[in-house]
Amino acid sequence: MPSTVLVGAQWGDEGKGKITDLIAGDYDYVVRFQGGNNAGHTVIHGDKELALHLMPSGVMYEHAVPVIGNGVVVDPGVLVKEMAMLEAEGIPCGNLKISCDAHVIMPYHKDLDGADEKWLGSQQIGTTKRGIGPCYQDKMGRKGIRIQDLLDEKIFRLKLEHVLAQKNPILERIYGLHTYTVDEICEEYLPFSRILKPYMAETAQLLNDALRSGKNILFEGAQGTLLDIDHGTYPYVTSSSCCAGGAATGTGVGPTRIDRVLGIQKAYVTRVGGGPFPTELVFEEDGGSGQDAIDGETLCRVGHEFGVTTGRKRRCGWFDAVIGRYAGEVNGLTDVALTKLDVLSAFDTIKVCVAYECEGKRYDYFPMQQSVLFHARPIYEELPGWKDVDITGCRTYEELPANTRAYVEYIEEATGVPTSIISVGPDRDQTLFRRR
Ligand code: IMP
């Protein structure tokens, strides 16, 4: 496939890292199109696990060009550190290209992210506090600072002066935080610009030229469909377009140039941060009880559900086919990779949410009003499990137990999207390809 968009079909953390890593070798360019260092995935390098937050996974392949597209928000300090870490591990970053139109996360964005969360109190979103939201706010408010502004100290200073005249009073008077001077930010940021300058490029042109000359591009999504600013569970979302459409706006490659949209969905569902989650199996420590709490704990423990970026315990729940169908539609998914199927070997029976019920009404489609989602009770189908059968050694679809295949096929039927890849363990070879 010349160009594939890979997107999370749930609330992020679906295992995109492993699938990206598996297929990235087939592509000449691997492009991030949204988000920033709020994302995080681990890649295996020799006997080490490396955490990437901003660098496209393509960096792990010598032949591939990793590209940070215009839709990404870049914390230059984080990027420079990540590059140094990779170089120290013997992974060269010389091929990296950074869009000059990408926006820069500034120190006040990080302060405001934390302050906003405090202000929200019990309604807080649970952000990663990396400054993502405030940076996108400034982008949309047309007072953002872009990568290209780092190239010209005069312009950088001018823009900063203007922005700080607004940010400083907000920081000081509303939040009681410290303020910034133009000089101190220049001192921190201009050295980054000298390091990053060789990597800055006109990436939209680069990618369109690449497609014209027959190269393959992988658009690597971060977060997931339900964290999308438009299609997610607003306001409990991130501030970017995580859905497939974001690949076009976030890179400058038109939608007609995209051939495949591969959704990544876990065999169950997790979420970090606040917001509605109809199939959540609430942990005891969060007020849950009974079998649901036990099942939630089991998913968390067996699935090692702790955030790469924050280390937080992820909320866990059964697979939600309403979300699956919705993700299929808003992304135009051509196929999905089903991950962590082996985790379900821990259960006698497995539930799948097929619809919601709220105030006596059945919802087969993602509800129009968020309040319905908050109060939705899942309507489950209970399927027989394959308890204690170890499927981590299976290498073809046919080797899977009959009940496991029945589960996969049930999900396909319920969501309307075919499963092309199945992951049965963390290692690269613990993957079954039904279609490459
Ligand atoms: P932000 O992206 O830091 O603004 O956080 C907004 C919401 O998105 C919070 O609920 C985060 O926990 C969530 N979020 C951001 N990045 C990720 C991710 O990579 N995986 C899962 N959730 C994420």
| 428: CATH | 3.90.170.10
**279 and 368 share a domain?**
yes
Q: Indicate if 292 and 420 belong to the same structural domain.
A: yes
Q: Report, as an integer, the average pLDDT of 119-148.
A: 95
Q: Say if residue 187 is in the same domain as residue 215.
A: no
- Residue 259 and residue 285 in one domain: no
pTM: 0.95
Query: 392 and 276, same structural domain?
Result: yes
CATH of the domain at 124: 1.10.300.10
Is there a single domain that holds both residue 275 and residue 360? yes
- State both tokens at 38: 């709020």
Distance CA 239, CA 246 (A): 12
pLDDT at 58: 87
Instruction: Out of 41, 53, 109, 231, pick the active-site residue.
Output: 41
Instruction: Please name the amino acid found at residue 151.
Output: L
The pLDDT of residue 96 is above 90: yes
Check whether residue 82 and residue 36 sit in a common domain.
yes
User: What is the structure's pLDDT at 436?
Assistant: 64
CA-proximal residue: ligand 1, atom 19 (nearest): 39
Residue 286 has pLDDT above 70, yes or no: yes
* CA-nearest residue, atom 9 of ligand 1: 127
* 236 and 162 in a common domain: no
- What is the per-residue pLDDT across 210-224, written as a single tens digit (0 to 9) for each? 999 999 999 999 999
Please tell me whether residues 284 and 411 are part of one structural domain.
Answer: yes
Is residue 57 domain-shared with residue 162, that is, in the same domain? no
Convert 271-308 to b/e letters by CB count within 10 Å (16 or more is b): bbbbbbbbbbbbbeeeebeeebbebbbbbbebbebebe
Cα(373) to centroid(ligand 1), Å: 19
User: How confident is the model at residue 398, as a pLDDT?
Assistant: 96
Q: Look up the domain containing 323 and give its range.
A: 266-433
How many angstroms does the Cα of residue 222 sit away from the middle of ligand 1?
9
Residues 131 and 186 placed together within one structural domain of the fold: yes
- From 7, 128, 136, the mutation candidate for ligand 1 (largest count of ligand atoms within 8 A of CB) is 128
Last residue of a domain, one of 195, 214, 237: 195
pLDDT of residue 11: 96
38 CA from centroid of ligand 1 (Å): 6
Kindly state the average pLDDT of the residues 20-24. Answer: 90
Average pLDDT estimate for 355-364 = 97
Last residue of a domain, one of 214, 248, 263: 263
* Tokens (6 digits) for 317: 């729940």
- Looking at the structure, tell me whether residues 256 and 272 fall in a common domain: no
For residue 215, the domain's CATH number is 3.40.440.10
Give the model's pLDDT for residue 319.
98
Number of domains into which the chain is organized: 3
Local confidence band at 368 (pLDDT 50, 70, 90 cut-offs): confident
Residues with CB under 6 A from ligand 1: 12-13, 38-40, 125-128, 130, 132-133, 222-223, 227, 238-239, 272-273
Average pLDDT, the chain: 95
Q: What is the pLDDT of residues 227-271, one digit of tens each?
A: 999 999 999 999 999 999 999 999 999 999 999 999 999 999 999
Domain boundary among 195, 222, 245: 195
